[in-house]
Structure 1
Amino acid sequence: MSKLLKAYDRSRVPLYIQVASVLRTRIQSGQWGAGEKISTLEELEREFEVARVTVRQAVDILREEGLLQARQGLGTFVSKKTQDRHWVKLATSWSTLIDSLTGNVPRRLTIEEDVPPPNLTSSEGELASSYVKLRSVQYRNEDPYSVVNILLAREVFDLNPTRFKNAAALVTIDSMEEVTLLEAQQTLTIGSADPEIADLLKISIGAPTVAAHCVVVDDGGIAIYVGDIIYRSESIKLQMDLLATNPVREKKARNGYKAVELARRSKARKA
């Protein structure tokens, strides 16, 4: 058995989805340029050591996504209009996160009240008395790129329910004079789409996703925001400034994110 076949066996994801993932990466990385003719089905069949039907299924997925176009009698070509799909730059600081969300309008928003509380770790603050669940899908033009599930402390939601229904929750929290934040942490996990997520994001079941888990704690130690956002992996770009050295104490305080106060309270806690 070849190394390639052994690699297939290590995954529970169907073969055609695995092949489609590799082809998608070639397009998004620029290995296959816009308008370029891709390898033939025969060539892909030999390269990936899979059946012709598997290659055809993989190519069909990318055609449905608009990444490939078939031309009668000529072959299959990379689409000229869908190159860089990495339109979401994941934030690595509070200010860049808020800036990236400003202007976002939730679509297909649902609100549930009196929902079960989130499961918090010891470093994620204390539970609020009750939570409201906000669920939405975010779009770029008409392309869905993330599913958002948020548990928001009821007392925070009640400060401005209308704003939370019409703007990104973190942007709304950031604008509130009544709220002072102590901590905000985000964890990223690579995963794959289950049937529900695949339907909402218009991707294949098992397609790669990026899950962001974000917890925001106020100055009372309460987890007022617990968000789980699942992104289409091809929409994500993570860029970090490795030499960014601005300490929190030098940052300008802003309405919700009162950085000076945050530094003072954090220092007092440690003392």
Structure 2
Amino acid sequence: MAKGGVAGRRGKIPAYIQVAAALRRRIESGDWQPLQQISTLEELEQEFQVARVTVRQAVDMLENEGLVTRQQGRGTFVNAHVNDKRWLKLETTWDSMVESIQDNVPKFIKVPNPPATPRMAEGEGTLAPEYVFLRSVQLKDGVPYAVVNLHLARDIFDRKPDEFMKRTALPLVAKMPGLAIKHAHQTMVIGTADRETADLLRISLSAPTAECRWVVTDASDTAIYVADITYRSDCIKLSIDLLGSERPVEKPAGRARRAAA
């Protein structure tokens, strides 16, 4: 959100969340340095063209996140040490993803009438004869950061039912003897929290979220693992090494001149 207000904002994200996001970016980018005083409530009210209560709510969010401290009679200051709240890196390879979540302990949620099959898009594989539906909340230090809705093929679940009810499913699938993986695909879109997700993740209604979808198929192209995962947007980051492990090879100067001739 650029300077100039949020009066013309689009979507359902509350104004105070948009203001808080803008202020957070200034801290994370270094526009406001550690121990520096941020703009006053009056200045922020005029800049973003919102009510004073909206600005107060935004600053309250930053204070709760440990980014700023209010000093009576002096103002609001950036904390000396700002922790990187975006601790969760969304991995972009199969091995790194499996490694990153193998020690996670899900908190399972009972679902009265779970969907029998996952929704499937073209090219995501064929449906298995039967699925087990598992919903869970992932936590770090007691704080929820993701909601997982998983359809796991029944024949895969029945191989290790006790393990699947205690541990994160994907590492178990990855290490299952005799199971050949043909495709593993992840997509991500930006969304907002509905009422149920907001309650589970302890965030505001319509707060920004990152919605990831994982589809894993076996050798016959049957979708054995289909997961829709909703993350709090304030704890994740996506980092991609565009060159991977390869380094550009420099051509000898003479060859370069001949190529350009």
TM-score by length of structure 2 reads: 0.84
Is 1:99 the counterpart of 2:103? The answer is no
Identity %: 49
Aligned pairs, number: 245
Deviation at 1:49, TM superposition (A): 2.0
Deviation at 1:245, TM superposition (A): 6.5
Is 1:224 the counterpart of 2:221? The answer is no
Q: C-alpha distance in 1, partners of 2:59/2:224?
A: 45
Q: C-alpha distance in 2, partners of 1:209/1:200?
A: 13
CA deviations 1:83-111 (Å, max 9, x no partner) are 20111111111011111112111124447
Structure 1: runs of 5+ lacking an equivalent? 247-271
CA deviations 1:50-98 (Å, max 9, x no partner) are 2222211222233334433322222223345652011111111101111
Change (3 A) 1:166 1:30: farther
Contact 1:187 1:213 (8 Å CA) reproduced:
yes
TM-score by length of structure 1 reads: 0.82
SS class of match (2:20) = helix
Range with greater deviation from structure 2 (41-50 or 59-68) = 59-68
Structure 2: runs of 5+ lacking an equivalent? 247-261
Q: Residue type matched to 2:187 in 1?
A: T
Deviation at 1:139, TM superposition (A): 1.6
Higher-Rg structure is 2
How large is the RMSD of aligned CA atoms in angstroms? 2.4
Q: C-alpha distance in 1, partners of 2:151/2:183?
A: 16
Q: C-alpha distance in 1, partners of 2:113/2:132?
A: 5
Which residue of 1 is the match for residue 85 of structure 2? 85
Range with greater deviation from structure 2 (91-100 or 43-52) = 43-52
Contact 1:112 1:132 (8 Å CA) reproduced:
no
Which residue of 2 is the match for residue 167 of structure 1? 167
Q: Residue type matched to 1:99 in 2?
A: E
Q: C-alpha distance in 2, partners of 1:158/1:71?
A: 58
Contact 1:113 1:133 (8 Å CA) reproduced:
no
Change (3 A) 1:6 1:224: same
Contact 2:130 2:154 (8 Å CA) reproduced:
yes
Deviation at 1:112, TM superposition (A): 7.1
Q: Residue type matched to 2:229 in 1?
A: I
SS class of match (2:8) = helix
Which residue of 1 is the match for residue 184 of structure 2? 184
Contact 1:114 1:131 (8 Å CA) reproduced:
no
Structure with a larger share of its residues in helix: 1
Which residue of 1 is the match for residue 250 of structure 2? none
Deviation at 1:140, TM superposition (A): 1.7
Is 1:40 the counterpart of 2:33? The answer is no
Contact 1:213 1:227 (8 Å CA) reproduced:
yes
Deviation at 1:38, TM superposition (A): 1.8
Q: C-alpha distance in 2, partners of 1:62/1:137?
A: 24
Equivalences for residues 227-238 of structure 1 within 5 A: 227-238=227-238
Q: C-alpha distance in 1, partners of 2:52/2:147?
A: 34
Change (3 A) 1:57 1:30: same
Contact 2:6 2:15 (8 Å CA) reproduced:
no
